[in-house]
Amino acid sequence: MSSWGCLTEEEQERYTLAYERIMQIPAEAIVQDPGRGFFQNEARFLLRMEDLRQALEMDAFDEFSEEEWRALNRELYEEILPENYSKCYGNPDMACEVFGREIGQMISFLYTELRGAVVFAFEDRERDMLLLMELFLQVYAVFAGNTPDAEQLHGILYWYASDYCEQFADDRTRELIDPSLSFLRDIVMDSDLSDLRYLYRYGEYITENETGMAAYLNTLPESEIEAMARTWTEGYRIGFEVQGKDLSQKKTAVILYRVGFERMVRAAIGQLKELGLESILYRPSAHVVNRRSQTRGGCYGAVPNPQFDYDHRNDAALFTDSRFVTRRLQALQNAYESRKELAAVHAGPLVLEVFGETPFKPQAKDTVLQMTEEQQKEQLRYVSEAGQITNRYIKGEERSFTIISYPVPGIGKDFPEIFRETIRINNLDYQQYQRIQQYLIDALDKGFAARVCGGGKNETELTVMFHELTDPSKQTNFENCVADVNIPVGEVFTSPVLEGTNGLLHVCSAALEGFRFEDLRIRIENGMVKEYSCANFEDPEKGRKYIEENILFRHPTLPVGEFAIGTNTTAYAVGQKYHIAEILPILIAEKTGPHFAFGDTCYSRQEDIAVFNPDGKEIIARDNEQSVLRKENPEKAYYNCHTDITIPYNELGSIRVLCRDGSEIPLLENGRFVLPGTEELNKNL
């Protein structure tokens, strides 16, 4: 039986009727060409997914060889793979060519929504399968024997999202906080991890990265796996400790990871249990209402085709309006209220990120759905108010997190060496870094601002303003950051004063959240993004929209939420040695030079909690002029994003502290540390 529960008698009757009706469609000719092929194809797909669900329920694949599992897995994703995408209805270009622009965009959306049946088949989620089958039949009826009515078709899709948003919100909230949903955890804990067939039981797309990662981990002794997991879980525990939060009051924690790391995740689950925490594992949402644009969170396999995800990043344009957003927010509120006991004991996530895959350079298409300016405002309203709702039930001042990164085999022939180096980076001597970083903090606290200048082709010239220290003997602006919530060690950071923070941030090339940016320029005026551009597209306007979506997240502007100086020259040296500097994850890349984060501060929703450095000084720079608005206008205080952009040492000219008496204290010159006490960091350079 599925942990999502059985269908009611009425739902079972609907299920049978829908399935039987869909069985007739492949042989019917009541839809005129050229659209008939779409409906016949999708009917066969839904029938195949129902057959798959039943076969999985009866353990029909237990005797499948790894080769047979691989063939089945490819079959499930074959249509959307890059080599087949030009002839796929999930490609808006293809759908619009067949159906015309307006209807084609909706058909492409429908195709994408029906893809969720793969997940529902593997997890035996009959109720979700039923909703997809009924949606498909409603749309089919619009086309049967008639010229398609675009307005009627849009109405069907709108009310599908609106009518079921309560169920979608409730299901998603339960996935995030309810440990009784154990499908993914059971795979990790109950499988024979030496038999790689287990990877295919997720229903995620599996490539050589996932099989290669699992096979590599199987070569490591259990003691090393336990040590890797301990670095992760101990960072999580220490995060609570240094922030003065009581972990003993919590009962659950979420683990987010890439398929292939099950041995490490299994060890982490055991270690969390020692801390009194039950682990929750969930995958990216399959329903459009809950999908996070083109990004993925939770437990996920390979991305079959990043262009497919990118093409459907704005599918919510079909139903986003004030009425829908209000209804969705109420649904989220109700979902948390009905499970407030589970939310109250939720401790926050442990995140395992991966790197080594080629950053994605998207193709901009005119056929994709786009949000209007008004819809973007409504979407931002949802993000802001949803963040407030979540924070009321999973309190920011009581939760924490930790993040760690590892390479995947796709990084190239040096994968084993890079993996070993990553383990070393993740376990650097934090006491040594803590000592060196204190020299930087002491110098920074003598100034009112810092000036960061690029070197060579980098044109950065940026002044960053600091908060005033009223009692320097007890106060500081910068946190001495070692390996707890952000592994590995290696940065000092602050929340800048926005007024007076001015200039240009320029990076010649950067990979941010899997997206490649070329010649990225962001002009900052009084701490807020004023202008921006990149060279990814010939059309500058397409570059601006690319930044709006993937750095500003549709906000008209964002504040500089963080200024930091990375000190992890070990990680930088590894990046240079193996020529992987441009694909290092933000988590590591941000430690390899100065970086600036746009969005919320590092203390978002926790500003009133006193934080102290190891030397006993309180870090007073926890607010800025935007976050302080939380006291009167919380909807204006938070942006629910935080994107780090790093200037690597080889693009850096200098960082100098500006003092009130007109003097300057040099910290770095020509990409090298020059402040007395920090020279050790140059050994790796």
In this prediction, residues 132-153 reach a mean pLDDT of: 91
In this prediction, residues 209-215 reach a mean pLDDT of: 98
pLDDT at 2: 60
pLDDT above 50 (res 355): yes
* Structure-token match 């960082």, residue found: 655
Query: Which alpha helices (DSSP H) does 289-372 contain, by range?
Result: 306-311, 322-338, 340-344
Q: In terms of pTM, does the model score above 0.85?
A: yes
pLDDT at 1: 46
Ranges 180-194, 265-279, 508-522, 642-656: which has the least confidence: 508-522
pLDDT at 675: 98
pLDDT category at 642 given cuts 50, 70, 90 is very high
- Structural domain boundaries in the chain: 9-162, 176-402, 452-480+491-574+593-684
Amino acid at residue number 375: Q
In this prediction, residues 652-678 reach a mean pLDDT of: 97
Could you report the per-residue pLDDT of 175-194, keeping only the tens digit for each? 999 999 999 999 999 999 99
pLDDT above 90 (res 685): no
pLDDT at 469: 97
Could you report the per-residue pLDDT of 42-90, keeping only the tens digit for each? 999 999 999 999 999 999 999 999 999 999 999 999 999 999 999 999 9
Contact at 8 Å (CB) between 564 and 494? Answer: yes
pLDDT at 303: 95
Could you report the per-residue pLDDT of 290-342, keeping only the tens digit for each? 887 656 789 999 999 999 999 999 999 999 999 999 999 999 999 999 999 99
pLDDT category at 483 given cuts 50, 70, 90 is low
Could you report the per-residue pLDDT of 276-301, keeping only the tens digit for each? 999 999 999 999 888 876 567 899 99
- The percentage of the chain sitting over the pLDDT mark of 90, rounded to a whole number, equals 87
pLDDT at 605: 87
Q: What is the largest CA-CA distance in the chain?
A: 85
Ranges 180-184, 491-495, 604-608: which has the least confidence: 604-608
CA distance 665 to 407: 38
pLDDT at 360: 86
- Please give the full DSSP string across 581-637, using - where no structure is assigned: GGGS-HHHHTTSSEEEEEES-TTTT-TTS--B-TTS-EE-----TTGGGGGT-HHHH
For residue 120, the number of C-alpha atoms closer than 13 Å in the C-beta half-sphere is 24
- The percentage of the chain sitting over the pLDDT mark of 70, rounded to a whole number, equals 99
Residue 77 makes CB contacts below 8 A (sequence gap 6+) with 118, 205, 304
Residue 534 makes CB contacts below 8 A (sequence gap 6+) with 517, 518, 519, 520, 521, 543, 546, 547
- Partners of 464 in beta bridges: 450
612-491-349-629 Cα dihedral, nearest 10 degrees: 60
